[in-house]
Structure 1
Amino acid sequence: SLLHLITANFSLTFILRIGIGLMIAVDYTVGNALLTEWLPKGEDSKRQSHLLIYWTIGFILSYLAGSFITGFDSYTWQIILATSAVPALVTAIFRSLFPLPASPGWLASKGKIKTANKVIRKHMGRKWRLPARFMKRNKKKTPRNISWAILFSKQYLRRTLVGGIFYACQAFSFFGISIFLPILLQSMNITSGNISGIIYNGGMFIGVLLGTWIFNKVSRRFYLISNFLVSGVLIGILAIVPNLNSMLKLGIFTLFAIILSAGLILDYPYPTELFDLKVRATGVGTCITISRIGAAAGTFLLPVLTNVGGASLAMLVCAIVLLFAFVVCLIWAPETSPKFMKNKENN
């Protein structure tokens, strides 16, 4: 991040952004999988959903940094990009003072049973150890390395597709909020960036808080399906009925932003719950990879569609993507909530 201060070269800047993106992607994947391994069963998904609140706070702070860091002439953009060194440094210091424990599950999968139990006892106490199924394994047998291709086998294919498609469609549409909101405000003769920022960030923060509150009250499957259906219908109304009252348009769009943002809560826990421990990190990483394709497509296509056919065309495509995700989840999405799966078994 700090290297942005010493170069304005396009190619070097592009390489730096790719490098930073790769590091963040590693943390998204490995950090999330490792976290769930150490959290108590039943608390893991709840804690993961809370992470999105902190993610949103960071997102809003980055928006504020981009809006209010001014006065450095042609160096302003370099300074804005370099500010990401601040949270990176805070995290590096914190993880140096409080090192992350190793993954007992990973150690056990490599046949290092004793080492895994030492790690568990160190962090949880002497009465804790690996589950019995790990202890019964033949220690002399070399564990089989698991290829990412297993995610596309009959056993995991449906879960891989659901995790990747829901994440990609959500990421594609999420960029519509920042693109369409200024267009709507311009149609109402409102050109203030502050109002746009308040609605954008305020709607997202309210949505994440709302999603956190709802998360453990409804089933994962219902949450996923209803979120895509309602957000798809709302943005579809704006696309199909362009002559609505300006204030009504803004109200519908704000509601769309809140509901779509509420769905972000599923980004961490749901992909994690889709896969068992032996393929979890690989599965979550694959879902995130597919989601970045959606994010890139949204960043590139939505502005192009807006220029070609206006905001209505772009919103219509956004609605189609969301409703496609709704159909996929309606047909394939499994229930992963321990609470609702238990209720189903009892019934």
Structure 2
Amino acid sequence: MRENNIKMISIDDVPLNGFHQLMTVRSGGGWVLDGYILSIIGVALGYITLELQLNSFWEGMVAASALIGIFIGGFLGGWLSGVLGRRRLYFVGPVIFILCSVGQFWANSGLEVFIYRLLIGVGVGFEYPVAGALLVEFLPKKYRGSRLAALTILWFAGAALAYIVGNLILSSGNLSAWRYVLLSPALIGLFLLVVRLGTPESPRWLMSKGKDEDAERVIKKVYGASFSLKNIPAQNSEEKLSLSAILKSGYGARMLFVSLFWTCSVIPVFAVYAFAPKVLDSLNITGDWAAYGSVAITVLFVVGCIVATKLIDIMGRRLMVIHSFLWSGIALLLLGYFSDAGGLLILILFGSYALFIGGAQVLQLVYPNEIFPTEIRSFAVGIGASLSRVGAAIGTWFVPISLQSIGIGQTMYIAAGITFIGLISSILLAPETKSMSLEKAASLQR
């Protein structure tokens, strides 16, 4: 009788076990490293420019190289993980990070640094669809939303660690210390590579390829000898789509939503995060106010993500993304209107934006991993990651030009407009997946 009861328990409903904790570390470590390795260039770029005598063209190319790489890696990793599986590609990112970090140490030209950073971006692009899909396909539904949302917090933690470690290394005063700064991610990459050894393939992916015996072996190893394929919720066979058919199906609307909301949530964030001191200076906030304000805004980005992670299973996904875009958009609108106001009001509005956008930030990994079936899940995440980074690159490039040509007030209005596009797309297209099994969340028939 007890065995029959176990057979009826879905793996989406099992308690969190040690394997789930280990998988969270394995995938979460990738986001720490992503935040670290993408942010470390900001610490070292000035020193690289001095020693390698980079002109403005190569300085800009080095700064943008990783974002270009993410665009390539997101598409490539998303497609390959659907064809070859999650586990094989789980090691691609760490290997690229280690080899290219070592390569950067010996770089002697802007072109060499650009190539290594481009390849690093490809590795980061692989991480989004591969690590996210592998984690979500093992997690119980009760913990899926909060665990995926927490990955965004880990990214910011990695970014903060990069600034701390990078500045400590540069404090030596050696002009070539930047080489050790860019080498430092290799140590984290090596740790991540070792931790990921022994990771099994996703049983859901194995079943989608007709490898039922392999899937059953994984299930028994992870969940116990009494579990089998019967404990995986059945996927509607009509939803087993080829990648070429995705836009012709009902999933085309979901792909549009993921692309729009992800892109609209990162363009203003990357612009504000990268140019906070410059933006604050344009808002007449200088001196200690600017220094403390930049730190406070960065902290509030993290706080916003933490709060959203705590609320995601209470509010639900749809309500959270709508409120996040609404209130953060209003904050940006007010920043444009009160661009000539005093420092305290500006910092309050800036901080409000950083806090409220946390909901949309954490959903960047939750939504695309939940609302697509196994066959196209990693591909959808890859597209979202790729297109959002195009938006991030455009936003980062546009801010200094916009500040100079049309001023801070109009720049904030544009950022608000982008945020409200995200709001409209969420109102029209955002589904609710709270408390659903992965199969039900991904189903078009509810």
TM-score range, shorter chain: 0.7 to 0.9
* Cα shift at 1:325: 0.9
Aligned mates of 2:274, 2:381 — CA distance in 1: 28
SS at match of 2:357: helix
**Structure 1: 4+ residue segments shifted above 6 A:** 132-137, 339-342
Contact 1:108 1:134 in 2 (8 A): no
* Cα shift at 1:31: 0.9
* More moved, 224-233 vs 191-200: 191-200
* Cα shift at 1:207: 1.2
Aligned mates of 2:150, 2:245 — CA distance in 1: 30
- Equivalent AA in structure 2 for residue 173 of structure 1: P
Output aligned runs, 1:269-284, within 5 Å: 269-284=366-381
What is the TM-score normalised by the length of structure 2?
Answer: 0.69
The answer to whether residue 147 in structure 2 is matched with residue 52 in structure 1 is: no
Aligned mates of 1:8, 1:257 — CA distance in 2: 38
Aligned mates of 2:183, 2:356 — CA distance in 1: 32
Contact 1:177 1:257 in 2 (8 A): no
Contact 1:185 1:191 in 2 (8 A): no
Q: Percent identity at matched positions? A: 27
- Equivalent AA in structure 2 for residue 93 of structure 1: V
**1:164 paired residue among 251, 259, 262:** 259
Q: 1:307 to 1:108 in 2, by over 3 A?
A: same
Q: 1:135 to 1:220 in 2, by over 3 A?
A: closer
**1:84 paired residue among 154, 171, 185:** 185
* More moved, 300-309 vs 68-77: 68-77
Q: Which residue matches 1:149?
A: 244
Q: Which residue matches 1:214?
A: 311
**1:203 paired residue among 288, 300, 308:** 300
Q: Which residue matches 1:38?
A: 138
Contact 1:232 1:319 in 2 (8 A): yes
SS at match of 1:74: coil
Aligned mates of 2:382, 2:246 — CA distance in 1: 11
Q: Which residue matches 1:141?
A: none
**1:65 paired residue among 148, 157, 165:** 165
Contact 1:207 1:259 in 2 (8 A): yes
- Equivalent AA in structure 2 for residue 225 of structure 1: I
The answer to whether residue 279 in structure 2 is matched with residue 178 in structure 1 is: no
Aligned mates of 1:73, 1:124 — CA distance in 2: 53
Q: Which residue matches 2:222?
A: 123
**1:12 paired residue among 97, 112, 124:** 112
* Cα shift at 1:227: 0.6
- Equivalent AA in structure 2 for residue 84 of structure 1: P
SS at match of 1:244: coil
Q: 1:56 to 1:62 in 2, by over 3 A?
A: same
Aligned mates of 2:146, 2:299 — CA distance in 1: 23
The answer to whether residue 194 in structure 2 is matched with residue 93 in structure 1 is: yes
Aligned mates of 2:286, 2:142 — CA distance in 1: 49
* More moved, 189-198 vs 317-326: 189-198
* Cα shift at 1:293: 1.4
SS at match of 1:43: helix
Q: Which residue matches 2:7?
A: none
Aligned mates of 1:16, 1:119 — CA distance in 2: 36
What is the TM-score normalised by the length of structure 1?
Answer: 0.88
The answer to whether residue 421 in structure 2 is matched with residue 324 in structure 1 is: yes
Aligned mates of 2:279, 2:320 — CA distance in 1: 28
* Cα shift at 1:235: 0.8
Aligned mates of 1:81, 1:28 — CA distance in 2: 22
Contact 1:4 1:79 in 2 (8 A): no
Output aligned runs, 1:249-268, within 5 Å: 249-268=346-365
Output aligned runs, 1:334-345, within 5 Å: 334-338=431-435
Q: Which residue matches 1:140?
A: none
Aligned mates of 2:267, 2:376 — CA distance in 1: 26
Q: 1:76 to 1:334 in 2, by over 3 A?
A: same
Contact 1:207 1:258 in 2 (8 A): yes
Contact 2:276 2:294 in 1 (8 A): no
